[in-house]
Structure 1
């Protein structure tokens, strides 16, 4: 793993600043515009990021108290929170985004060394140490800052985060069906292999493009020979 707790805490702060800067000053029409995610307005996306802060706050509470506090009370709660949030007025939604981020930051700051090592369970059912919480949040705010479709690109994200994101996605895609792909970031020399069907397809490009491709976001990468990079299945 090429990331530390300190890295994740820094990326979490950077991504939060990027996300907040992107939505600053938005009115109702701005929030109702389409996001970069199919079927979601920017309101849906902002509601998702706000609800994510509250959900990760539950994991912080779990680590701090030892009391089992799942991210969501049921598999349906996440979707219900997003839909309800998407119906809020812009001003109210913005206030939720801010307050939820502040609560999460305060909770993270209060964790002791022992509490950082406490085990919690993610929404996907993975048991992880609490040190993973800042990484989960940094991934959310950074990638979704791009998804706001307001001018933030993957190239604006920290290089270390992009490398860690590629590592994370490749690890999660390891058992997924799909084509075998060998990826190389031409600007850093980093290389990843996605196991899959057939002869491996070689895809090269800048780190930002590689991360966007792996995350299923728009990119300009092509495979060797100039053909389009093969379509990948969803990673989350």
Structure 2
């Protein structure tokens, strides 16, 4: 008999599941504010309409659910057969009728939540493989979904901003992004400073801390994450070895 509540008893994981579900609810609210005709409108992502964003978020839930099923059964079920298949799926989803597109989001979100709910404690440590080829524990799927729903709710370009994202999610996003830059060596000479994180007086520093004369990006946490994800430069300042330094584009993240 299926559980009526999450089988996981790990307090940290329970909190992460809550953030993922809150993000899903936030995306749903911003989607439901749009009329069917407005789904044809543009987004904060080049070449993608709102239809593409909704299709991507819906199919992403299905793909992550496959990883959770993998952790539950031990049977390998990749997120996507190939990058080409993923792109084709999104482009196809963007052609669906408005009601079908909305149902795709709703049903896939419920399916993923149920897969998480019914995964026993012992299975959360089982390893699965992401679309980027990383081997991670099944618990990582919760964070994978969290960042998708929160960021893409903003990409709908329907009034949501990075200020709507909870501070713990923003901090983890920035750690992920700057960690990826460091691994690739693309943060050389780039220092990121966050002022007064979550209003608690603490500052955060990321990037090339060993640089003698770095380009320094400074701002409040939401603004710095907005810049780091490649979605704008508002409310960040830039200083560096060159006079009249303009804010550079952030290095590639994903």
Question: The TM-score by the shorter chain falls in which range?
Answer: over 0.9
Q: C-alpha offsets along residues 78-125 of structure 1, whole Å, 9 cap, x if unaligned?
A: 101100000001111000100000000000011111110000000000
Alignment-derived partner of residue 166 in structure 1:
174
Question: Which runs of no fewer than 5 residues in structure 1 stay unpaired?
Answer: none
Question: Which runs of no fewer than 5 residues in structure 2 stay unpaired?
Answer: 1-11, 198-202
1:128 aligns with 2:128: no
Alignment-derived partner of residue 224 in structure 1:
239
- TM-score w.r.t. length of structure 2: 0.87
Q: Structure 2 CA distance, aligned partners of 1:123 and 1:73? A: 9
Alignment-derived partner of residue 181 in structure 1:
190
Contact 2:238 2:247 in 1 (8 A): yes
39, 43, 55: which one pairs with 1:35?
A: 43
Q: What is the deviation of 1:197? A: 8.6
1:145 aligns with 2:160: no
Structure 1, 15-24 or 226-235: larger mean CA deviation: 226-235
| Structure of greater Rg | 2
- What are the residue-to-residue correspondences of 1:70-81 with 2, within 5 Å? 70-81=78-89
CA 1:227–1:98 in 2, change beyond 3 Å: closer, same or farther? Answer: same
Q: Structure 2 CA distance, aligned partners of 1:23 and 1:180? A: 39
1:87 aligns with 2:105: no
The runs of 4+ residues in structure 1 deviating greater than 6 Å are: 195-198
Contact 2:187 2:207 in 1 (8 A): no
* Secondary structure, aligned partner of 1:182: strand
Contact 1:186 1:205 in 2 (8 A): yes
1:210 aligns with 2:224: yes
* Secondary structure, aligned partner of 2:215: strand
Q: Structure 2 CA distance, aligned partners of 1:43 and 1:94? A: 10
Q: CA RMSD in A?
A: 1.8
Q: Structure 1 CA distance, aligned partners of 2:172 and 2:90? A: 27
Contact 1:22 1:150 in 2 (8 A): yes
